[in-house]
Amino acid sequence: MSKTPYGSYTLFDVVKQVRESEPEGSYHSFAEPTKFGFTWKGFLFAKTKTMFRPLGILDWAWYTPAKLRDAALDNNIRDYYTEMLDDPRSPANKWKDKEEEKKKKDHYAHRAEWGVGEAS
């Protein structure tokens, strides 16, 4: 068995570290469970892998606990997500059906624009 923490364990460890670093700050939010993982700060985190994506976006990106913690403390998780999309560990996010990709991404972009499914 691997000793590397994955998925929800890693996310909860990051949330705990962020809350300990800023006990009086605005980091008192908890990771909320969903069907596919956990939502935290407007992002969906996978249950069993160290991958995440913004709510309303379909492309997953890899994350490391230390860099995610630093990004959360600096309030720039979205910038970190953009950076990690180019990381070789992140999935290629290549679709076989380009028309389906465009249709779904347009649909989710519209939902994100209207705040559907966003964490409060």
Query: Does residue 103 form part of some domain?
Result: yes
Query: Does residue 51 form part of some domain?
Result: yes
Query: Does residue 79 form part of some domain?
Result: yes
Residues 42-67: tens digit of each pLDDT: 898 988 889 999 888 888 999 999 99
DSSP alpha helix (H) spans, 1-120:
8-21, 65-73, 77-85, 98-113
Least confident of 15-24, 66-75, 88-97: 15-24
Where does residue 26 rank: exposed (0-12), middle (13-18), buried (19+ CB within 10 A)? exposed
Query: Does residue 28 form part of some domain?
Result: yes
Residue-number span of the structural domain to which 108 is assigned: 8-113
Return phi, psi of residue 107, to 5°: -60, -50
Residue 7, both tokens: 């998925």
pLDDT exceeds 60 at position 11: yes
Residues 6+ apart with CB under 8 A from 118: 42, 55, 56, 112
Predicted confidence at residue 23, as pLDDT, reads 60
The amino acid that residue 22 corresponds to is E
Query: Does residue 52 form part of some domain?
Result: yes
Distance CA 50, CA 52 (A): 7
Question: Tokens 């570290």 identify what position?
Answer: 17
Predicted confidence at residue 116, as pLDDT, reads 45
* Mean per-residue pLDDT, 76-101: 87
Domain count for the chain: 1
Query: Does residue 45 form part of some domain?
Result: yes
Query: Does residue 29 form part of some domain?
Result: yes
pTM above 0.75, yes or no: no
Query: Does residue 20 form part of some domain?
Result: yes
